[in-house]
Amino acid sequence: MYKVVIADDRPSARLGLHMLLNSGNDYSIVGEAADGNEAMERSEELLPDLLLTDLKMPGLSIIEAANYLKTKHPAMKIIILTAFDDCEDIYRAVKAGVDGYLMKDTDPEQILQAIQEVMNGSTFFQSKENADFMGSDGGPP
């Protein structure tokens, strides 16, 4: 069973993810966070297998938190679930070592599939361009 921390500044989003992940037996929600600082603190304290987080929340930047967490705890998986499909945000997430990037309007079954792929060692990046967000120089187009 994978330990998960859910971070989103909207309680309804946290509840929805909590319900989705509790629909099976693969995940145990060990903590929740409402801002970037709490996401970092909970992840440091609880050492989850997965941090499932919103991108734009109050407090510490999730990109900065991800960069720190992936440096200190490289086995920790981080998936960003966001409403922002901006090439620059995706590029910054990739550079920080994030394992997945999904849109909040993604079908719940696809969210579960993406989480499973990431937990199995793959990456999962969803965008309007369907992962064709990187330019030939490795940066945003």
pLDDT in tens, 112-141: 999 999 999 999 998 645 444 444 344 444
Decide: 101 and 128 in contact? Cβ < 8 Å.
no
Picking from 18, 86, 26, the residue whose alpha carbon sits closest to that of residue 52 is 18
State the CATH class of domain 2-125.
alpha beta
pLDDT tier for residue 25 given thresholds of 50, 70 and 90: confident
Strands 2-7 and 77-82: unpaired
Specify the DSSP element, H or E, that contains 50. Answer: strand 50-53
pTM of the model: 0.89
Calculate the alpha carbon distances from 16 to 19, 59, 141 in Å. Answer: 5, 22, 34
Domain ranges, ordered by start, for the chain? 2-125
- d(Cα 71, Cα 75) in Å, to the nearest integer? 9
pLDDT tens, residue by residue, 43-88: 999 999 999 999 999 999 999 999 999 999 999 999 999 988 888 8
Question: 83 φ, ψ to 5°?
Answer: -95, 0
